């Protein structure tokens, strides 16, 4: 396991704050002698710092897949599988698969397929809770489209949630990417939507807990 580079500054700030809080906690204990309060605050401070480290963790995983597999781009829970009208890029009917990421999930994001990046677009927006139906179109979000070598295109979208306040991505149009390579990161609670061609074989169900690079979402046909 490693720590994601997006977390370096936040972890440093968190460490400094934790040290200052602990120093103040010690002064409080040495002045008032409230041992129980000292212990509770100490546990709270270390829990706070542990949660920051936990959020920015990146597990070591090896993606195993076939050429037409669609790999899960993020850790989380499948909350939507339905046929919808995709209005930003395709402007036609697609199968939407949505994955909700809680603050406790790994938040690094990975390419679901290999191919050429056809489209990258960042949208400013609201910060509705990530499971809200309108979060896909109204929240701050970034949209990407990859064209597979078989001609099929897959759209996927990073969506900020009520807590997430920064979407990071590292790909650009016309870039060649590989399945399972990191393309971005969302800080503190969020969602990923995939829009797949009609007829795509789907291998997950609503309510499934999925893992980035390990879970197969489906297969292009």
Contact assessment for residue 49 and residue 164, using Cβ atoms and an 8 Å cutoff? no
CATH 2.70.70.10 is held by the domain 69-219: yes
The residues spanned by each domain of the chain are 2-58, 69-219
Each residue's pLDDT tens digit, 196-206: 999 999 999 99
Which of residues 112 and 44 earns the better pLDDT score? 112
Which of residues 62 and 90 earns the better pLDDT score? 90
Q: Is the pLDDT of residue 7 over 70?
A: no
d(CA 130, CA 100): 7
Above pLDDT 90, what percent of the chain? 49
**Nearest residue to 148 (alpha-carbon basis) of 100, 112, 115, 99:** 115
Active site residues: 190
Q: Is the pLDDT of residue 127 over 60?
A: no
């Amino acid at each position: 396991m490693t720590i994601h580079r997006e977390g370096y500054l936040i972890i440093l700030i968190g460490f400094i704050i934790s040290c200052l809080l602990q120093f103040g906690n010690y002064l409080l204990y040495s002045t008032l002698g409230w041992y129980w309060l000292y212990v509770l605050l100490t546990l709270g401070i270390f829990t706070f710092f542990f949660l920051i480290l936990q959020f920015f963790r990146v597990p070591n995983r090896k993606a195993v897949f076939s050429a037409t597999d669609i790999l899960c781009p993020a850790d989380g829970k499948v909350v939507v599988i339905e046929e919808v009208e995709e209005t930003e890029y395709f402007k036609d009917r697609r199968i939407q698969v949505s994955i909700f990421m809680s603050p406790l999930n790994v938040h690094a994001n990975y390419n679901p397929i290999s191919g050429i990046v056809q489209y990258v677009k960042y949208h400013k927006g609201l910060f509705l809770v990530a499971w809200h139906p309108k979060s896909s179109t109204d929240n701050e979000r970034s949209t990407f489209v990859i064209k597979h070598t078989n001609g099929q295109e897959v759209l996927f979208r990073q969506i900020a949630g009520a807590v997430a306040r920064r979407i990071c991505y590292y790909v650009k149009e016309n870039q060649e990417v590989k399945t399972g390579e990191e393309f971005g990161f969302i800080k503190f609670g969020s969602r990923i939507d995939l829009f797949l061609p009609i007829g795509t074989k789907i291998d997950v169900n609503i309510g499934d807990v999925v893992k980035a690079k390990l879970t197969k979402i489906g297969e292009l046909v």
